[in-house]
Chain A
Amino acid sequence: MEKRVTFSKWTIGILFAVPQLILIFTFFYWPAGQAVYWSLTLQQPWGGGNIWVGLDNFRSILSNASYWDSITASMIFAGISTGLAMTIALVLAALTDRQLAGSWLYRVVLIWPYGIAAPALALAFRFILAPEAGFMAVVNQVWPGFWDPGLDGTDAMASIIIAFSWKYVGYNFIFFLAAFQAIPRSLIEAAAMDGSGVIRRFWDIQFPLITPTIFFLLVINITESFQDSFGIVDIMTAGGPANATNLMVYKIYSDGFKGLDYSGAAAQSIILMLLIIALTIVQFRFIERRVHYR
């Protein structure tokens, strides 16, 4: 007779889930609910009281031109840094997977950047990219005025994209390498015997087989570029010059904590949440179709 472990009552199942549910409720639903409530009121920072204003906060934010600039900046940042971080990581992982000389070293070293806290790496990049003191000072000597993140918004945006991508190359690399190594050697060897070159094998065999990983990383990278960029922006540019790098997540911080506009910041974080949800839905709806799960 087959023995099966079943729960006679659904309550036992619930009981097992309760600790997890409590955690999710305390650290996600409750604060998120609070944020929704705050976004519909005008909160006095010291807790002296609040007024119900309905959707006024959203209206005033969405009618503010600088908020739309912030959304644009976030989109540009997300697009370029995700593309950069994923492409570089993909190339590096593909090369490492080919067992080139010294690949054991890259395998270890390339993972490190992800282990560095954003503010620490931002400090390092602030120095490297400083136009008067760092590495870029040399470039500026050759072409005076070429690099000026203090006044040129494009340069400042480039700085934070470089710093962020550098960090996520390490993260993406781990996943890509694992995906490459999960591909049966025999497939690649068979293709090689049939006479296909490295590039051909990559596009026809490896790339289609790692699409699930690419899709996963795409979702994660885009989501993280909206959220994890805070530390880098705060240290490197503080949103400047002239709001060129005032990403949505940084604007939430500066309006909420520096400006003590808790309601406006709450409304902005709701918008950011909806935007990330929407982006993720779009990705699942349209890009996942091209993903081949094995």
Chain B
Amino acid sequence: MTIIKRGFAALAAGALSTALAIPAFAEPVKFDFWFGLSGDLARVVDTLCKNFNDSQKDYQVVCTSQGNYDATLQNTIAAFRAGKQPTVVQVYDVGTATMMLSGAYKPADKLMEENGYKIDYSDYFPGIARYYATSKGEMLSFPFNSSTALMYWNKDAFAKIGKTEAPKTWEDVAADLKALKDAGYDCPMAINISANESWQLMEQFSALHNQPIATKNNGYDGLDARLEVNKTKFVQYVTDLKKWYDAGLVKIKSKDLGQDMVQAFATGTCQLILTSVGDHGTVGRTQKEGMKWDVAELPVYAGTERKNSLVGGASLWVLSGKSDAEYKGAAAFLNFIHDPKTALFWSTNTGYIPVTKSGFDFMKSDGFYDKAPYKGREVAIASLTASEPTEITRGIRLGNFTQIRAEFGTQMQAIFANKVSVQEGLDALVKNGDAILERFQQTYPGKTLP
């Protein structure tokens, strides 16, 4: 008995002494940052975190990769419900509507203001800022890793058919693909038709052509927005892609089949792909020795007034229910990320583009875009800033958009397998997508998007 008593006494004393010791040591305030990147990119984030921790001694950010974007959102929700949420979390572009209605965040602009940081929000590229801002223009989250879609083309192959420039219109693409096929190339262009390719095939295409994805300005003006891709120029685009696929000009490449389209392009198997600027580094590192290639803006149909492309990637959200000290740390962290020097570090080590004009200018003046491996990435900025964002090209604000993307993959697969016609497939996409949107609206009765 006495032993137990003594044990308790010792424990109590120990607890007391640690409690007293904390203020004396002035340990840095720790806070969590969860992100969805993995592999190479996760290592870059880890370095970024280390740089932040080394840059000051008041705060310490603990960065944890959750594997991918989906898992990050799922785990954050689970943690939030259990009251153990991280302070800062990276949420992908299409999770924005879900986050805005969650009531689980602290607005980023308020956070910065409260903690005395002055951020010039007009410094963000409008195409990027508006994707994440409320309808009134307030920034609820901080744009972090940003990209846009580009066309990658094989210069060697195009030289064979007497072309030195990338095609600018889909009409030119059609002619070039035919010529490439005739010149003996088995795979003139590669696409994939899973959920993920909704981004370049449907979303970017619609933005460039100023075509809506959904009513209510792509959902910005209300939760009662419904899809309308079955009656826009997108129908023509899918019809053409299908036609080219049937003629053997376009091949489907995916990991499940053996080789994804980025690998297919890098190895010289396929001559044209549409993918993120984020793959620029991968293609450069894994390309066939001596292959000449370049990137260009995505083509548009002839006679189209080109609009800005959409930003892809993720933004950083600060979650509610944390202490003031942690918020101070989070604000310092966001301020660190906002710094042009961090932008240079970030873009050099990943394929992502700078999100602010000052970051871009800093990198330009640094000669970043003149050097060989990075040359060409400025095309992404040109594409993002091709026009002032319109009501439709500022972004997509639809609930459960991940499921709509999945539906896109399903219907595209049905179309390409000749199970349904193009129009039938897109009608089904709209019908099923609308059911998803309706369900989202019912889940948040009486709420409106900020």
Chain A residues packing against B (C-beta within 8 Å):
42-48, 51, 60, 64, 66, 126, 130-134, 137, 148-153, 236-238, 240-243, 254-255, 257-261, 263-264
Distance between A67 CB and nearest chain B CB, rounded to angstroms: 11
A260 adjacent to B77 (CB under 8 Å): yes
Contacts of B400 in A (CB 8 A): 259-261
Contacts of A64 in B (CB 8 A): 435
B439 adjacent to A261 (CB under 8 Å): yes
Q: Known: A131-B257, A240-B409, A240-B410. Is A48-B417 also a contact (CB below 8 A)? A: no
A242 adjacent to B419 (CB under 8 Å): yes
At the interface, yes or no: B53 with Cβ under 8 Å from chain A?
Answer: no
Q: Known: A126-B256, A151-B252, A242-B419. Is A260-B98 also a contact (CB below 8 A)? A: yes
B254 adjacent to A150 (CB under 8 Å): yes
Contacts of A258 in B (CB 8 A): 70, 74, 402-403, 406
Distance between B177 CB and nearest chain A CB, rounded to angstroms: 20
Chain B 165-176 near chain A by CB (<8 Å), digits 1 or 0: 000000000000
At the interface, yes or no: B432 with Cβ under 8 Å from chain A?
Answer: yes
Contacts of A43 in B (CB 8 A): 443
* Complex alpha-carbon distance, A42 and B438, angstroms: 12
A130 adjacent to B256 (CB under 8 Å): yes
* Complex alpha-carbon distance, A238 and B98, angstroms: 23
Q: Known: A47-B80, A151-B417. Is A42-B443 also a contact (CB below 8 A)? A: yes
* Complex alpha-carbon distance, A255 and B70, angstroms: 12
How many B residues, CB 8 Å from partner?
Answer: 38
Distance between B254 CB and nearest chain A CB, rounded to angstroms: 6
Chain B 254-269 near chain A by CB (<8 Å), digits 1 or 0: 1011110000000000
Contacts of A237 in B (CB 8 A): 256
A46 adjacent to B77 (CB under 8 Å): yes
- Contact partner of A48 among B103, B406, B435, CB < 8 A? B103
Q: Known: A48-B102, A152-B417, A259-B403. Is A130-B258 also a contact (CB below 8 A)? A: yes
At the interface, yes or no: B347 with Cβ under 8 Å from chain A?
Answer: no
Contacts of B409 in A (CB 8 A): 240
**Given A150-B252, A261-B403; 4 other pairs, CB 8 A cutoff:** A241-B410, A241-B413, A243-B410, A259-B406
At the interface, yes or no: B194 with Cβ under 8 Å from chain A?
Answer: yes
Q: Known: A133-B258, A257-B74. Is A46-B81 also a contact (CB below 8 A)? A: yes
Closest to A149 in B: B256
Interface of A is mostly: loop
CB within 8 Å of A: which B408-442 residues: 409-411, 413-414, 416-417, 419, 432, 435-436, 439, 442
6 contacts between A and B (CB under 8 A): A131-B257, A153-B417, A241-B410, A260-B77, A260-B400, A264-B439
Closest to A148 in B: B257
Which 10 A-B pairs give the minimum distances between C-beta atoms?
A: A133-B258, A132-B258, A241-B413, A242-B414, A46-B102, A259-B403, A242-B413, A130-B258, A151-B417, A47-B81
Closest to A132 in B: B258
A236 adjacent to B256 (CB under 8 Å): yes
Contacts of B258 in A (CB 8 A): 130-134, 137
Contacts of B402 in A (CB 8 A): 258-259
* Complex alpha-carbon distance, A44 and B81, angstroms: 11
Which of B194, B256, B414, B444: most chain A Cβ within 10 A? Answer: B256
Chain B residues packing against A (C-beta within 8 Å):
70, 73-74, 77, 80-81, 98, 101-104, 194, 252, 254, 256-259, 400, 402-403, 406, 409-411, 413-414, 416-417, 419, 432, 435-436, 439, 442-445
* Complex alpha-carbon distance, A221 and B414, angstroms: 31
Closest to B74 in A: A257
Contacts of A45 in B (CB 8 A): 77, 98, 102, 443
* Complex alpha-carbon distance, A48 and B77, angstroms: 11
Q: Known: A48-B102, A260-B98. Is A42-B442 also a contact (CB below 8 A)? A: yes
Distance between A108 CB and nearest chain B CB, rounded to angstroms: 33
A255 adjacent to B444 (CB under 8 Å): no
A151 adjacent to B443 (CB under 8 Å): no
B445 adjacent to A51 (CB under 8 Å): yes
Distance between A291 CB and nearest chain B CB, rounded to angstroms: 41
Distance between B197 CB and nearest chain A CB, rounded to angstroms: 12
* Complex alpha-carbon distance, A42 and B400, angstroms: 15
* Complex alpha-carbon distance, A44 and B101, angstroms: 9
* Complex alpha-carbon distance, A243 and B195, angstroms: 12
Contacts of B254 in A (CB 8 A): 150
Which of A134, A150, A263: most chain B Cβ within 10 A? Answer: A150
B102 adjacent to A254 (CB under 8 Å): no
Q: Known: A48-B102, A132-B257, A260-B77. Is A242-B436 also a contact (CB below 8 A)? A: no
Closest to A42 in B: B443
B410 adjacent to A242 (CB under 8 Å): yes
Contacts of A48 in B (CB 8 A): 102-104
Contacts of B102 in A (CB 8 A): 44-46, 48
Q: Known: A240-B410, A241-B417, A261-B439. Is A46-B257 also a contact (CB below 8 A)? A: no
Contacts of B413 in A (CB 8 A): 151, 240-242
